[in-house]
Structure 1
Amino acid sequence: MKDCTYVMSVASPVVMGSVSVTDEQSINKQAVEGIQRILRAAEKTNVKRVIMTANFGAVGFSNKDKSSVTTEEHWTNPNEKGLSVYEKSKLIAERAAWDFVNATENHIEFATINPVAILGPSLNQHMSLSFQFVENIARGKMKRIPNIPMNIVDVRDVAQLHVLAMKTPEANGKRFIATAYGQISMPEIAQLIKKERPELASKVSTKTIPDFAIKIGARFNSEAQEGKLLLEMNRNVSNQQARNVLGWTPSYTQEEAILASVDCMRDYHILK
């Protein structure tokens, strides 16, 4: 990091599906140690500021008051039932990062970007977890779709937000939720793809899974527990801090981000 003014920490261990308690502890440890190594190196080499790509899972998954607005002041409870291993690891890593920064003598400048589900164009054929659920809908792998609301942000807007957080003096010491305006449900995503990409329409199902079925399944199944949490959490999410402090405004709607993902997967022949 010699001669670096800014550092962005954008990577973290990713896991899909169920894992053992031992594996979960290992993933959490990797996530924490990864950001701590970066912060220690930055401190030693007099880096001015570190920007961490955190996650909305660290912010709003415990706020179930749907009459409220979720902001950067919220923190997810790490013991929240249904919280995925990935979301929990990002939460624990961000907490550890803030603890490290607050304990350092030099008080290295630090800020986090906490994006909701990221969609939009991809640089290559590697598909994130967010991409995969869109692929599953577009390819007809999901015969019935849970009526889960979502918040989405375009990857290009997330990239811009990182740069603004890096360069804006007032960003130091703050978290920034990255989200486009509003929310959209999974069935609405299916309907959008059917309407705007009619060549895929015959494969896309718009049949839904009743909410009560997910809630019953949550008693016995970890994936259903995650679905229940996603149903219950508040999706009225604010990006006001990013707008006020950084002058950031999302350039792409949720619908544009979704369709850009679909088109990207077609370009890479993932969807045909």
Structure 2
Amino acid sequence: MTNSNRGVAVLVTGGSGFIAVHCIIKLLEQGYMVRATLRSLHRQNEVKDMLSKGGISSFENLSFIEADLSQDNNWDKAVQGCTYVLHIASPTPVVNYKHEDEMINPAKDGVLRVLKAARAARVKRVVLTSAYGAVGMGNRNRTTPYTEKDWSNLEANLHPYQKSKTIAEKTAWEFIKNEGGGLELSVVNPVAVMGPILGTDYSHSNQVVKKMLEGEIKACPKVYCCHVDVRDVVDLHLLAMTHPKASGERFLATTGKALSMLDVADILKKNLVEVAAKVPTREMQNWIVRAAAIFNPSLRMLATLLGKYAETSGDKAKQLLNWSPRSNEEAIIATAESMLQLGLIKK
């Protein structure tokens, strides 16, 4: 425990989420007072159970408050007395959406609610969890790794989830520039987040590993993606929260090397052997995925990523903040092993 953090309060939004739970663990371990928002306080025990699995034995420095990104209620109370805010909560991809605004408006309105409350409460710095979806989507003919200078192209045919992440982050930067009143902002843009699962609430990126191990994916779509371990995403959030050089900056949380889905399958096969017997060994033609996406809404975001260049650079965080992430392989295997330990994989 770091004594200098004693009494320093941090608000974590979306306290039941995959990244948020791991952030709470690290903050408690480092001696911070943590207040976490939940849309329903009925989930308190579920969150505490995940924290216990992550090694937390005392909850005396943890409290919960009910707050919803789509409502004004309680945000002033949530940030009261906090030095920092980790704004991690965000709407997850909606499969059967009728209009893109179902994802865009909650993300945009939610970030403004949090920033306005933080400004009024004289919070020092907010760290916003954005995404690679706000950096590398909709850009054609790319041949060099994406960096923090890049933005997704809102004029392109983006999936509403990617569009929501981009608009929400742009909204945050615009607010800080025009209305921030001295409030500091840092942004973390994770790629596909892997790593130890602590419960049934985990990143949608982890679903690929689960579906491969269960044999649901018979052949791999030709999609390329960079990965990062959730523990390293947490480290970057805390660096972005406290490091003097992080204010006003955005950081890609990435190991930097893009893998195909078949590469991910090969990593599972190599490391888990018999347990990975159902993991696919071949790729699927793009036209099959696009045709299936017409009838299966859950494939529509995937279909927009087929064959797209996806290399990213994590050099900024490494050089400016001395951040050092684990390898792709370690992150992916940690996901699989934790799912197996929790009995989340159907035999």
Question: Which of 210-219 and 258-267 deviates more?
Answer: 210-219
* Structure 2, unpaired ranges of 5+: 1-78
Instruction: Answer yes or no: is the 8 Å Cα contact 1:135–1:262 preserved in 2.
Output: yes
1:29-82 residue CA offsets vs partner (Å, 9 max, x unmatched): 11111111111111111111100000110001123334222111111122422x
The equivalent residue for 1:69 is: 145
The equivalent residue for 2:327 is: 253
1:9 has 2:87 as partner: yes
Q: Structure 1 residues 173 and 131 mapped into 2: Cα distance closer, same or farther (>3 Å)?
A: same
User: 108, 113, 119: which one pairs with 1:43?
Assistant: 119
Secondary structure of 1:190's counterpart equals: helix
Mapping 1:1-272, distance limit 5 Å: 1-21=79-99, 24-81=100-157, 83-104=158-179, 106-214=181-289, 226-250=301-325, 252-271=326-345, 272=347
CA distance in 2, matches of 1:121, 1:94: 27
CA-atom RMSD in angstroms:
2.1
Deviation at 1:235, TM superposition (A): 1.7
Return the letter of the residue paired with 1:13.
Answer: P
Q: Structure 1 residues 221 and 140 mapped into 2: Cα distance closer, same or farther (>3 Å)?
A: closer
Q: Structure 1 residues 35 and 91 mapped into 2: Cα distance closer, same or farther (>3 Å)?
A: same
Deviation at 1:85, TM superposition (A): 2.5
Deviation at 1:243, TM superposition (A): 1.4
Return the letter of the residue paired with 1:34.
Answer: G
Secondary structure of 2:215's counterpart equals: coil
CA distance in 1, matches of 2:268, 2:103: 35
Instruction: Answer yes or no: is the 8 Å Cα contact 1:144–1:207 preserved in 2.
Output: yes
Deviation at 1:207, TM superposition (A): 2.4
1:72-95 residue CA offsets vs partner (Å, 9 max, x unmatched): 1111122422x3332221111111
How high is the sequence identity, in percent, across the aligned residues?
37
Secondary structure of 1:209's counterpart equals: coil
CA distance in 2, matches of 1:248, 1:270: 31
CA distance in 1, matches of 2:291, 2:103: 29
CA distance in 2, matches of 1:229, 1:259: 27
Secondary structure of 1:107's counterpart equals: coil
Return the letter of the residue paired with 2:120.
Answer: K
CA distance in 2, matches of 1:25, 1:72: 26
CA distance in 1, matches of 2:188, 2:343: 31
Corresponding residue pairs, total: 268
CA distance in 1, matches of 2:285, 2:203: 27
Instruction: Answer yes or no: is the 8 Å Cα contact 2:195–2:332 preserved in 1.
Output: yes
CA distance in 1, matches of 2:283, 2:301: 17
Return the letter of the residue paired with 2:248.
Answer: G
Instruction: Answer yes or no: is the 8 Å Cα contact 2:219–2:280 preserved in 1.
Output: yes
Instruction: Answer yes or no: is the 8 Å Cα contact 2:243–2:321 preserved in 1.
Output: yes
1:191-250 residue CA offsets vs partner (Å, 9 max, x unmatched): 221221112232122121123544676788866663343234322211111112211121
Instruction: Answer yes or no: is the 8 Å Cα contact 2:119–2:180 preserved in 1.
Output: no
* Structure 1, unpaired ranges of 5+: none
CA distance in 2, matches of 1:174, 1:20: 35
Q: Structure 1 residues 201 and 120 mapped into 2: Cα distance closer, same or farther (>3 Å)?
A: same
Higher relative CO (CA 8 A, sep ≥ 6), structure 1 or 2? 1
Instruction: Answer yes or no: is the 8 Å Cα contact 1:181–1:253 preserved in 2.
Output: no
- Normalising by structure 1, report the TM-score: 0.91
